[in-house]
């Protein structure tokens, strides 16, 4: 396939997230390396968004690629109820970086899932129902995480989940903040 064909199929068969659907014209990516990716016409782009802000390791990171290949050769995935060496070792590394009162790690599938589980854990631990989140924020596109989100994409979820309260954080560039010194 060429870039034109990919772009047309993308526009015809994919619902583009984070975008208005009319007038969409996605760049067809042919290859990527480090902080750059190239389209099928040979144009190079610097990836200034780290792809959805979660891939800031760069494209073609050999160390990560080798680790993925090693895991695939052993097995791709086992459910969380089974013992898994890589998951156990990663959890140990994370816990050892945290303060002493953190004893366990809970792995999830994605950021929205992590946020929803954080809400459940906080409510379970505190016995309280209210959850504060900021306007001008994004926490995921699932129903629960979308209710945490403080930007217009949450409107389709309203009236929303009870107990989710929004607040404005200080915006130092435009708002005067009083400091008690």
Residue 4: CB atoms within 10 Å = 11
pLDDT in tens, 94-146: 999 999 988 899 999 888 999 999 999 999 999 999 999 988 888 888 899 99
The structure tokens listed for 139 are: 């926490």
Q: ω into residue 159 within 30 of 0, thus cis?
A: yes
pLDDT at 97: 95
User: Within the chain, how many helices (H) and strands (E) appear?
Assistant: 6, 5
pLDDT in tens, 28-57: 999 999 889 999 999 999 988 766 666 678
- Mean pLDDT score across all residues of the chain: 87
The structure tokens listed for 61 are: 């990171």
* Sequence-distant (≥ 6) Cβ neighbours of residue 23 within 8 angstroms: none
| Whole-structure pTM value | 0.68
Residue 179 scores a pLDDT above 80? no
pLDDT in tens, 70-83: 999 999 989 888 99
- Boundaries of every domain in the chain: 3-54, 77-107, 111-167
Helix, strand, coil in percent for the chain, rounding step 5:
40, 10, 50
């Amino acid at each position: 396939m060429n870039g034109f064909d990919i772009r047309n199929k993308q526009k015809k068969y994919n619902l583009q997230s984070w975008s208005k659907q009319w007038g969409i014209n996605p760049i067809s990516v042919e290859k990527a390396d480090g902080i750059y990716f190239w389209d099928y016409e040979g144009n190079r782009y610097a990836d200034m968004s780290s792809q959805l802000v979660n891939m800031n390791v760069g494209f073609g990171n050999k160390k990560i690629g080798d680790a993925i290949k090693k895991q695939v050769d052993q097995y791709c995935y086992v459910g969380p109820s089974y013992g898994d060496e890589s998951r156990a070792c990663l959890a140990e590394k994370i816990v050892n970086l945290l303060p002493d009162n953190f004893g366990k790690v809970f792995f999830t599938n994605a950021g929205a899932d992590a946020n929803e589980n954080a809400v459940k854990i906080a409510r379970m631990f505190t016995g309280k129902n209210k959850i504060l989140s900021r306007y001008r924020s994004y926490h995921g596109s699932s129903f629960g995480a979308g209710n945490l989100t403080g930007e217009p994409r949450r409107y389709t979820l309203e009236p929303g989940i009870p107990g989710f309260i929004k607040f404005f954080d200080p915006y130092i560039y435009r708002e005067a903040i009083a400091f008690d010194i």
